[in-house]
Structure 1
């Protein structure tokens, strides 16, 4: 790879702080983030609807767990397939396809036949098919939307722009919790009420489809596919003309180097440093899910019922998880371009692991029947969600969106995301049974042990990415220099 100022940051004109270009970039990010909103709603809607659905369709705990867990498994496939697809057909077209999948999956779930407590194999199979399609869409959104935003954003504010997608995700989860609570309050928790909860997802799916029809393609993808003039036209809508031309020159350097060799999977397998960074990303994605955040977002009402709340109290209290998730997301986006990614990861893991230990301790100190037990555990779980959203969720997806080289960015992001989705799928299937068998103490103690190991993983293996252009990062990732930079910085920190 070419080194030096050609892909550095020194040659770029200053970024304008306001004006029509920044407003245009803001509009593009808002529309694209409807994908994140759908991601959040579809992962959160089951939290509060799973009980009424199981009762209406006559599902056992295992059958319910399979339904809930099928989305993460579908998301693992969707992340890998859509990441590769976005490299081939473009980020914009891939997101439009995702909108169609979101809408189709909702229809399958909502119109699944059966109900009134009688199990229907056809209805269950149709609901599973819809859940699988939604999983494909969620996984695709988790991969393509952050990459699209990262490739459109200037490096100075790439963290906050890309982080908006995670803020949209938690906003979607909050919306699902609030809608579920409102519907349950007005219509109760029996019968077909769960269908109305799922049906609301169709609205943002339509908005995403219509909105993306008017949005531009990623300029970096356009350059990679030989459409340089189109890329410049896009950049001029979201940058000043001097800045757009300077960024295009940097992109040209990398694209020219890539055109001389293999790209995509072939380039990945032939370069040990690319294999290493994908493996690190795979592990980081797993770590994010192994904190147990999906347990709270999928089964928050069940966790609160296990602590001693009634079903009605649990549905209402569950909204607090969504509220603090949004608050944490806002804080994270504001700090994303101010605090190093590694620092954020380490602080977040230290806080979430401490919360796990405190939840386990509280479940022992306040035995079942103690009136303070559910409220103490509620406060601690809220603290866990706040720490998770403030320091881990946003930062992890931003890091994954910027660490991989252009020619395999969608593929690398997809492979890495598979790790997290597989973990979430296993936890979703097992958690109803685990909570019933080992209780809160065992479940959160397990997460605490994993948290300690995760801290060591991040400290030793995860490199820093903040404050550098995607092209400069690509040089260091491809040559392995990024790992040497990390070792030097850790050595300085020990002095």
Structure 2
């Protein structure tokens, strides 16, 4: 018989999975919609420029969702924010279904971009805060990899079987569930602690965790860490002053900039890995590489391997530490990408045998990159960011990454036509190599650590003690607090 705490966590994970599937369907449906609108018989006349704006606009507007989530979660907490931010996504599905002109499609992309950015980040935040450290990486991968790619693949395959308008209605189903389910959650204990509501924090924590010595220590660590921080903000009762007080204190510390640099490199790796680009332009890319014959089989192969890679990632992150998994799978996936680029360059023709070789290499690349690098990197993104300024941190650096991602998707068709797919893949492989070299030197091992312990690693810059130990952490913090100020 399941404990009530386990059932409550299951309800949280189910709601967040619906968010991830909904996010994936946004890109999967858009890939099919772009392919249909690109044809000569399109019911809405669009040129190549219109299509590129529709494809890339989500990436340039999503960082406003990062700002929105920073404000909304500051006021309303995690669970109500998820419901509020998913409502515009549902409205956009209806807009796409009813659209009769390009203006409606573009407006829906702008709105869904803002909401998608907020929901995406809030999903990762909530997984990190609601789940225990020993299963956090597993749950993050269920959300960020399996759930997302199930949605993407569902969108790709449905677009080959149904019209893009029908697929929009299919996408509305998980979005509706993502609106309703959070209403039955308890609030995030981490968020309650960050607001100084420690009694409510304790009640919420006990509702989500079976209590034992380990969880009691985790709760004690969370409350003691946040009580120490509350002293610095207690005089700032105005919300705007409170927010700027947090940010001002953070940017004056060396560890903030260390985390910022690691965060930026992780995001550049994610962009160069090509998941968003492929998710958005999948059907077009597969038809250019392999032709229109057997497009359904090719799509099922690549997306099926992608889902398999995402599922495998859940077991790999549970079994292995983060650093070895990242560097081993990162090197393997990068090698496969280079082999694919060589095949595309040497045999550009679409003969049957080499077509399947190229599609199989693409599928093998995605199963490897999703099983390892993406699984690790997306877990790390939510683990290394300081709790007290997590939402604001994500907005400021998400804006930079959003612009880079926008340019990557916007320029992709031009790059494909000018230097070919092989040229783009070689450039991406080079960028990934540089990111791996940087992360080798600066990325800590985070598996099994509490969020507070990971933050303390960057503050103290030491691996000599077990940073989950409260007394040792507090003592080391007292010794080094003065030295971390710039």
Q: 2:117 aligns with which of 139, 142, 148?
A: 139
What TM-score do you get using the length of structure 2 for normalisation? Answer: 0.87
Matches for 1:238-317 after TM superposition, within 5 Å:
238-242=208-212, 245-262=216-233, 264-310=246-292, 313-317=294-298
Alignment partners' CA distance in 2, 1:330 and 1:272: 37
Deviation at 1:410, TM superposition (A): 2.2
* C-alpha distance after superposition, 1:295-353 (max 9, x if no partner): 2212122222222311x532442232222222111111122233222222222321222
* C-alpha distance after superposition, 1:236-263 (max 9, x if no partner): 2221244554432211111111112255
Contact 1:37/1:169 (8 A) holds in 2: yes
* Partner residue, 1:58: 45
* Partner residue, 2:470: none
Alignment partners' CA distance in 2, 1:484 and 1:125: 58
Deviation at 1:219, TM superposition (A): 0.5
Alignment partners' CA distance in 2, 1:180 and 1:339: 37
Any gaps of 5 or more consecutive residues in structure 2? 234-244, 467-486
The secondary structure found in structure 2 opposite 1:467 is: coil
1:48 aligns with 2:48: no
Quote the RMSD (CA, aligned, Å): 2.4
1:165 aligns with 2:147: no
Alignment partners' CA distance in 2, 1:278 and 1:482: 20
Deviation at 1:482, TM superposition (A): 6.7
Any gaps of 5 or more consecutive residues in structure 1? 1-16, 114-122, 184-192, 486-495
Deviation at 1:160, TM superposition (A): 0.9
Alignment partners' CA distance in 2, 1:314 and 1:437: 24
* Partner residue, 2:16: 32
Contact 1:90/1:218 (8 A) holds in 2: yes
Alignment partners' CA distance in 2, 1:483 and 1:42: 45
* C-alpha distance after superposition, 1:246-288 (max 9, x if no partner): 4322111111111122553222212121122022112211211
* Partner residue, 2:403: 422
What TM-score do you get using the length of structure 1 for normalisation? Answer: 0.85
* Partner residue, 2:202: 232
The secondary structure found in structure 2 opposite 1:226 is: coil
* Partner residue, 1:493: none
1:448 aligns with 2:418: no
Matches for 1:94-133 after TM superposition, within 5 Å:
94-113=81-100, 123-133=101-111
Q: 2:361 aligns with which of 380, 383, 402?
A: 380
* Partner residue, 1:186: none
Alignment partners' CA distance in 2, 1:340 and 1:84: 34
Deviation at 1:84, TM superposition (A): 4.8
Contact 2:56/2:410 (8 A) holds in 1: yes
* C-alpha distance after superposition, 1:216-248 (max 9, x if no partner): 110011122132222222222221244554432
Contact 1:78/1:139 (8 A) holds in 2: yes
* Partner residue, 1:176: 155
CA change 1:45–1:255 in 2 (3 A) is same
Alignment partners' CA distance in 1, 2:446 and 2:128: 12
1:153 aligns with 2:134: no
Contact 1:289/1:424 (8 A) holds in 2: yes
Matches for 1:87-98 after TM superposition, within 5 Å:
87-98=74-85
Deviation at 1:80, TM superposition (A): 3.9
Q: Give the length in aligned residue pairs.
A: 451
CA change 1:139–1:226 in 2 (3 A) is same
Contact 1:265/1:408 (8 A) holds in 2: yes
* C-alpha distance after superposition, 1:182-227 (max 9, x if no partner): 21xxxxxxxxx32222232111111111111111110011122132
CA change 1:384–1:415 in 2 (3 A) is farther
1:20 aligns with 2:7: no
Matches for 1:4-19 after TM superposition, within 5 Å:
19=3
Deviation at 1:379, TM superposition (A): 0.5
The secondary structure found in structure 2 opposite 1:404 is: coil
Higher relative contact order (CA 8 A, sep 6+): 1
Between 222-231 and 139-148, the greater mean CA deviation after superposition: 222-231
* Partner residue, 1:219: 189
